[in-house]
Amino acid sequence: MRRLRKIKIVATLGPASSDYDTIRALFEAGADVFRLNMSHGEHSDIAERHSIIRQIEKDTGRPIAILADLQGPKLRVGVFANGQEELSEGQDFRLDLDDTPGDATRVQLPHTEIFEALEDGATLLVNDGKIRLKVKDFGKDYANCVVTVGGTISNRKGVNVPDVELPLAALSEKDRKDLDFVADLGVDWLALSFVQRPADVEEARTLARGRAAVLSKIEKPSAVKNFDAILEASDGIMVARGDLGVELPVQNVPPIQKRLVRKCRAAAKPVIVATQMLESMIDSPMPTRAEVSDVAAAIYEGADAVMLSAESAAGSYPIEAVSTMNNVAVEVESDPTYRDVINASRGGDKQTVADAIVSAAREIAETTDIQAICCFSQSGTTASLVARERPQVPILGLTPVMRTARRLCLTWGIHCVPTGEVGRFKEAVLNAVAAAKSEGFATEKDQIVVTAGVPFGQAGTTNILRVAPCDDRLIYPQDQND
């Protein structure tokens, strides 16, 4: 199944999309990656959905990526004697460790780490920022606050602390168990919540033991501040705009999104733009024009993927939501302005042989009659570097490693093709020609560009390029032993 657009679509599975027929329909509508939300569902539910995806992969003959999204630590207030209370602007309100049910003057905040990290004047946000509290004074087990934005506060509402870096690990005990479970199950990507520092990513990578790639969710101001180091430690990034918009002024989020997407592209690491992209389609078969513009903006920026959350997991129109996102992507990418924007945003120093090879591959493909760039790669490095160039022609990612093929399903523009092992570049070229023709990217009259790293089996050795005809001119007597 050949996609008619380069950006990838991530669809979250849930109650509205948990059976074979619906998940297959989502895949056929355009989903390239399926997200399993570890905040909801038992391990048995996750295992069942994983099994269905792998069956669809087998039935369609196309690699499919699976992303498991870890919940992360959840900071919440305790309970109220009346279930809820109304807080008014200007009133005093206390948070403490006392587990006595709360009232209009106080409630439990069962997280000592927050009190340890507080500073005078710090802001506490409750219920996705609907209630704002300013700290007047605090101790090791309390914080006296003044309400700056009032409203209804009720049992176990979430708390955000945007002003300080909390001494909390990104992985809770639940996350550790979930990580081990899904890594053994065979997911391809792990999305790590509550990332504040690169050490959080390294901990997850150690626990994953190479069983899955680690993708960091950028959802806290501290993660934005430490982004360069987090990006270096990560295999991929998710810009989680919903949480960023709670902890930061909403007007700050669009420029942050643009900046992070460009940095990910320069690093040749996939980046997902996520949260509330087609939110209205939870209940409506049609999106708003503002939502379509939001999706289009992420595509124009050159993001690797856009993501659906509740729209496909719990909404009434999951397949329509994927189809809408697919249609928007096809239309945007056919706009001449899109190519102008993508070309203008191509940057970064070209300092290595690999950089030069992939840059040359794009230039040759775009200035001559080339139908596709075929990247033979064990680890996915070559294909990722070519994708960073954002070429106009299709990219075929050929690999003998199924795990690599699945992971590359998240990367912009790559059509993944599992192939057999090769020992010589000549074999790689032959496989590339066969794949380009069988997958419908070229005919016997066409030419392709083939890139690879020699010797094979060593990651990061992209060092060879060849323009190959797709007919019997490929093999000459003098290069039988190439």
Q: Which residue in this structure is represented by tokens 């503002």? A: 290
Name the phi and psi angles at 186, rounded to 5: 110, 30
Helices (H), 273-352: 289-301, 310-313, 318-333, 336-344
Active site residue 217: yes
Rounded alpha-carbon distances, angstroms, from residue 469 to 64, 104, 479? 30, 76, 15
Q: From the candidates 275, 324, 411, 451, which is the catalytic residue?
A: 275
Rounded alpha-carbon distances, angstroms, from residue 90 to 129, 132, 145, 195, 233? 16, 11, 10, 33, 43
Q: From the candidates 5, 6, 8, 35, which is the catalytic residue?
A: 35
Name 21's Cβ contacts closer than 8 Å, sequence gap at least 6: none
Structure token pair of residue 172:
């809770």
Which stretches does DSSP call E strand in 14-166? Answer: 33-37, 65-69, 84-87, 92-96, 106-108, 123-126, 131-139, 142-149, 151-154, 159-160
Distance CA 343, CA 341 (A): 6
Q: From the candidates 3, 24, 74, 76, which is the catalytic residue?
A: 76
Active site residue 473: no
Active site residue 462: no
Q: What residue type is 131 in one-letter code?
A: I
Look at residue 73 and give its three-state secondary structure.
coil
Distance CA 426, CA 479 (A): 9
Name 363's Cβ contacts closer than 8 Å, sequence gap at least 6: none
Name the phi and psi angles at 477, rounded to 5: -55, -40
Distance CA 65, CA 407 (A): 6
Structure token pair of residue 363:
């230039």
Partnered with residue 139 across adjacent β-strands are: 142
Give just the sign of the alpha carbon dihedral 250, 252, 254, 257.
negative
Rounded alpha-carbon distances, angstroms, from residue 363 to 142, 367, 369, 389? 62, 6, 11, 10
Active site residue 35: yes
Q: From the candidates 217, 258, 269, 407, which is the catalytic residue?
A: 217
Distance CA 48, CA 32 (A): 19
Name 476's Cβ contacts closer than 8 Å, sequence gap at least 6: none
Residues serving a catalytic function are 35, 76, 217, 275
